[in-house]
Structure formats: C-alpha cells, structure tokens
Structure 1
Amino acid sequence: MSLIWATRGRAWGFRFLLTGGFPDPLPEYEGAFAGAGDAPEICHPVGDRVALRIRDPLGRKDQSGRLIPHEFVICGPQAAEIRSVADGLALVWPQVAGEFERVWEMPRPPV
C-alpha cells in the first residue's frame, strides 16, 4: 500500500508525515481530495485511490484546542478495501498510530 499522510501535532501545523513514495505528494493529495468536501470525516474514492479524513481516534487536540485531523491518500490494491471511514480506521490507522504517538507532542514537526 502506498500511503500519503497529512496531519498536525500539538504545536506544529499541517505536514506530510508520509509521502507515499512521491517526491512531492502535494499534487497527489490535492487531486484525491478535490471535490471531497470539508466534512470532518470522509471516505472519497477517486479512480484507484481513496482520500480518507478521520478525526484523531484518541480525541487529541492541538494547543489551540482543535481536534487533530488525519488525512490520507491510499493507493494500490488495498484502496479497494476501503469503502468507509470505519474501513479506513480499521485498515490504515493501525499502520500509523504508533508513529503519531511518538511525534504528536514534539515541539517541531519531524523531518
């Protein structure tokens, strides 16, 4: 599975933590989320990809009190398995939960 992941931490703004192997993940990210809307949680299939937005499963908030969102673009065969936000939570979140636990309270985003 190729995975693009954008989120923010307690003290740092929105960043890509995973790039899906793309030198510049922004065009892929923007293309997948185009037309997805701004709901706090979405599962938006686009061709052979899925744009997924979830609220932080542990309810973490940044220093301004905003709930942390996680936005993913899932590419590859596993994208077909993600048909809902619940599917995304079950299949994608376990792959990144440990890394987010490690970095979300850092004063600066990981490099």
Structure 2
Amino acid sequence: MSLIWATRGRTWGIRFLLDGGFDDPLPEYDTVFSDVGDEPATCHRVGRKVALRFPDPLGRIDRSGRVIIHEFVVSGPTADGIHTVDDGLRLVWNQPQIADEYARVWDQPTPVSASG
C-alpha cells in the first residue's frame, strides 16, 4: 500500500505526514483530490487510486477548535478494497502505524517531517 497523508495537528498546520514515496507528494495529492468537493468525509476513486477524507475518529481538535481532518491518497492493492469512508477507516486508519503515529505526533508543539 502506498499512502500520502495530509493533516494538521493541535498547534501545527496542514502538512504531509506520509509522502507515498514521492519527493514532492503535492502534485499527486492535487491530481487525486482535484474533483473532490469540500465534504468533511468522502471517498472518491480516480482510476486505481482513492482520495479518502474523514474527521479525526477520536474527535481531536486544533487550538482554534476546528476538528482535525485527515486526507489520504491510497494506491496499490489496498485501494481496490476501499469503496466507502468506513472501508477507509478500517483498511487505512486502523493500521497501528497510522492511528498510533498520529496519537504520538498530533499534540507536539512543532510540525513533524514526512516519514513515508
């Protein structure tokens, strides 16, 4: 599974936590999310990739009181099994390296670097 993951933390702004193996994940992210609206939760297929967006499952908020939103570009075999936001939560978010990593970094005072 290849993942690009964009989100924000309690005190740091939107950034990529996983880069999907791209030197610059932004063009790939922009391509897959280009036809996605502003809904807080969505699952949108683009070819064999999925744009997945959902509010933080634990309801975490940033220092301004906004609910944290997670956005993923999922490719590879895992994307084939994602047809709904619930599928994405099950197959992407519930991976320990995702949920546990975010729990570790979301409240840090400074942004973290992309680690993927």
TM range (shorter): over 0.9
AA aligned to 1:47 is G
Partner of 2:65: 65
Partner of 2:24: 24
2:8 is aligned with 1:8 = yes
CA distance in 1, matches of 2:87, 2:94: 11
TM-score normalised to structure 1 length: 0.98
Partner of 1:90: 90
AA aligned to 1:3 is L
CA distance in 2, matches of 1:56, 1:78: 20
The runs of 4+ residues in structure 1 deviating greater than 2 Å are none
Partner of 2:107: 105
3-state DSSP class of the match of 2:24?
coil
Partner of 2:43: 43
3-state DSSP class of the match of 2:3?
strand
Q: Alpha-carbon deviation of 1:20?
A: 0.4
3-state DSSP class of the match of 1:27?
helix
3-state DSSP class of the match of 1:3?
strand
CA distance in 1, matches of 2:103, 2:85: 21
Q: Alpha-carbon deviation of 1:94?
A: 1.6
Q: Alpha-carbon deviation of 1:33?
A: 0.4
RMSD of the alignment, in Å? 0.5
Q: Alpha-carbon deviation of 1:78?
A: 1.1
Question: Structure 1, unaligned stretches of length 5 or more?
Answer: none
Q: Number of residue pairs matched?
A: 111
CA distance in 2, matches of 1:67, 1:44: 21
**Fraction of identical pairs, as percent:** 63
TM-score normalised to structure 2 length: 0.94
